[in-house]
Amino acid sequence: MEDVIKIEGKHKLKGTVRIGGSKNATVALIPAAILANGPVTICDVPDISDVKSLSVLLDFLGVAVDIRSSDTIVIDPQDMVNRPLTHDAVNKLRASYYFMGALLGKYGHVEILMPGGCYLGPRPIDLHLKGFEALGAEVKYEHGSYVLDAKELVGTEIFLDIASVGATINIMMAAVYAKGRTTIENAAKEPEIIDVATLLNKMGANIRGAGTNVIIIDGVEKLSGCFHEIIPDRIEAATYIVMAAAAAEDVVVENIIPHHLEALLSKLKEIGVEMEVDVDSVRVKGTSKLIGTDIKTLPYPGFATDIQQPLTALLTQAQGHSMVTETIYIERFKHCYELNKMGANINVMQASSFIEGPTPLSGTEVCATDLRCGACLVIAGLLADGVTTIHDIYHIERGYEHIIEKLQAIGANIWKETVA
């Protein structure tokens, strides 16, 4: 038996969608909270399976997790025990690697399984490990687990070969208790990094430069509990804006930070989507004619890799040629094969896809090969004639909070079903 999502296409969307807290920030903020010596309250936490997996790991470490409401959790690490993270939950999400930086920073020792998550091509964590080694840790790989040891972590200058979000956050967490000053050069600039640095500074860390390419961390001896509200999820916001561009009569996407979405919003205007951008919302109206375009994914503030898959579904309805070039995860094109099953005309070559449009899409059986592929297929299902059945929906549930209910509320004919 398997749960699937079914969508009957061609229903116009009308109403308001509220965006939740950032998934990519949340999965780093929760491990960061264990660096404190008192309770950390985090609100606007999205109700997604990745959070449940992280909660399982916290419980495994003896950290008290109190779910105060549907979107607020209190993490209390005062009775925490640093035991090997060999739990199955490590394999369920890639972000479990943030426990490396947090545990190494707090205890000087960590043992953790190779992290899991969506397969998007090679996603090495060597930058994380090089950063830990530069701080004074010894890194070993034994029996499928990483073992990191440091008698003392000492601040140093670290240059990242690639502006990696994960490595930037992980090194930042390891460095908060390090002796002296750590400088991360060529740091990633994503808003989620600023959010993690904000939490750590509220706890008593001394971090400057988050959001720029040079981050400076002066080590401290103690971190305390605090209260923190997560930033809105820019990728969820982008996904619903693209859904609205595909199928809206009149949709408002609220609780967003438009500045975080500038690359997408400018691209949507370029292809002909009618939008009104407000202080914390975007209104999207139905668009009759779209024009093809070229997209190249880049680190923030460039066009986000996580948005190219959902946007590809929309580009199947644009007139003429479109090209998507992927510079972050070069194998991130499995969604194109699923779209072609539905009638799209997409050719995939090394690190690029070529989309000819417009092509009518027809509902069929497709598979969510990863989280953002799942979002792409939901958009395709909204556009398609007939019923689309999406398999492997656990990928979608990893990162999109109540997606079925949110879409039903604005007029989509979408539901979950258990099939043999």
Least confident segment among 139-153, 187-201, 295-309, 374-388: 139-153
Whether 122 shows a pLDDT value over 50: the answer reads: no
CATH dotted code for 2-20+232-419: 3.65.10.10
> In the structure, what pLDDT confidence band is assigned to residue 69 with cuts at 50, 70 and 90?
confident
66 is in an annotated binding site: no
pLDDT at 124 over 80: no
Residue 202, annotated as binding a ligand: no
Q: Does position 118 have pLDDT exceeding 70, yes or no?
A: no
This model's pTM is above 0.75: yes
Query: Do 23-229 and 2-20+232-419 fall under one CATH topology?
Result: yes
pLDDT of residue 89: 80
Banded model confidence at residue 74, pLDDT cuts 50, 70, 90 = very high
Mean pLDDT of 67-77: 92
Pick the CATH number of 23-229 from 3.40.50.720, 3.20.20.70, 3.65.10.10, 3.40.30.10: 3.65.10.10
Q: Which residue has the tokens 């199947």?
A: 316
Q: Which of 407, 419, 310, 388 is nearest to 7 (CA)?
A: 388
Q: What is the pLDDT of residue 123?
A: 53
Q: How far apart are CA 115 and CA 313, in angstroms?
A: 30
Q: Single out the residue of 230, 222, 228 nearest to residue 38, CA to CA.
A: 222
DSSP per position, 249-318: EEEEEES--GGGGHHHHHHHHHHT-EEEE-SSEEEEE--S--B--EEEB-STTSB-HHHHHHHHHHHTTS
Q: What is the pLDDT of residues 155-202, one digit of tens each?
A: 999 999 999 999 999 999 999 999 999 999 999 999 999 999 999 999
DSSP readout, 335-358?
HHHHHHHTT-EEEEETTEEEEEE-
Catalytic residue positions?
A: 118
* 12 labelled ligand-binding: no
Instruction: Assess whether pLDDT exceeds 50 at residue 7.
Output: yes
Query: What DSSP character marks residue 135?
Result: T
Residue 251's Cα: distance from chain center in Å? 23
In this prediction, residues 127-156 reach a mean pLDDT of: 94
pLDDT tens-digit profile of 377-389? 999 999 999 999 9
Q: Where are the domains of the chain?
A: 2-20+232-419, 23-229
Angstrom distance (rounded) from CA 135 to CA 161? 16
pLDDT band at residue 117 using 50, 70 and 90 as cut-offs: low
Q: What percent of the chain has pLDDT over 70?
A: 98
Q: What pLDDT is attached to residue 152?
A: 96
Q: Inform me whether the pLDDT recorded for 120 exceeds 60.
A: no
Q: Please give the distance of CA 393 from its chain centroid, rounded to a whole number.
A: 16
In one letter, which amino acid is 391? H
The DSSP result for 146-194, as a single string, is EEEE-S--B--EEE-SS--HHHHHHHHHHHTTSBSEEEEES----HHHH
In this model, does residue 232 exceed pLDDT 80? yes
The single residue listed with the structure tokens 């656990």 is 394
Higher pLDDT, 288 or 241: 241
Report the C-alpha gap between 269 and 275 in whole angstroms: 8
- 82 labelled ligand-binding: no
123 annotated ligand-binding residue: yes
Q: In what order do the strands lie in the sheet with 281-285?
A: 13-18, 248-254, 281-285, 274-277
User: Is 280 annotated as ligand-binding?
Assistant: no
Residue 88 assigned ligand-binding role: no
Query: Is 73 annotated to bind ligand?
Result: no
Cβ 135 vs Cβ 182: under 8 Å: yes
pLDDT in the model for residue 414: 98
Q: Distance (Å, rounded) from C-alpha 118 to C-alpha 65?
A: 26
In 3D space, the residue among 216, 180, 181 whose CA is nearest the CA of residue 197 turns out to be 216
Strand partners, 142: 145
Measured distance CA(44)–CA(26) in Å, rounded: 9
Q: Any binding-site annotation on 23?
A: yes
Cβ distance 319 to 292 under 8 Å? yes
What is the mean predicted confidence (pLDDT) over 305-334? Answer: 96
83 among annotated binding-site residues: no
Q: Measuring CA to CA, which residue among 305, 70, 286 is closest to residue 188?
A: 305
pLDDT at 288: 79
Average pLDDT of the chain is 95
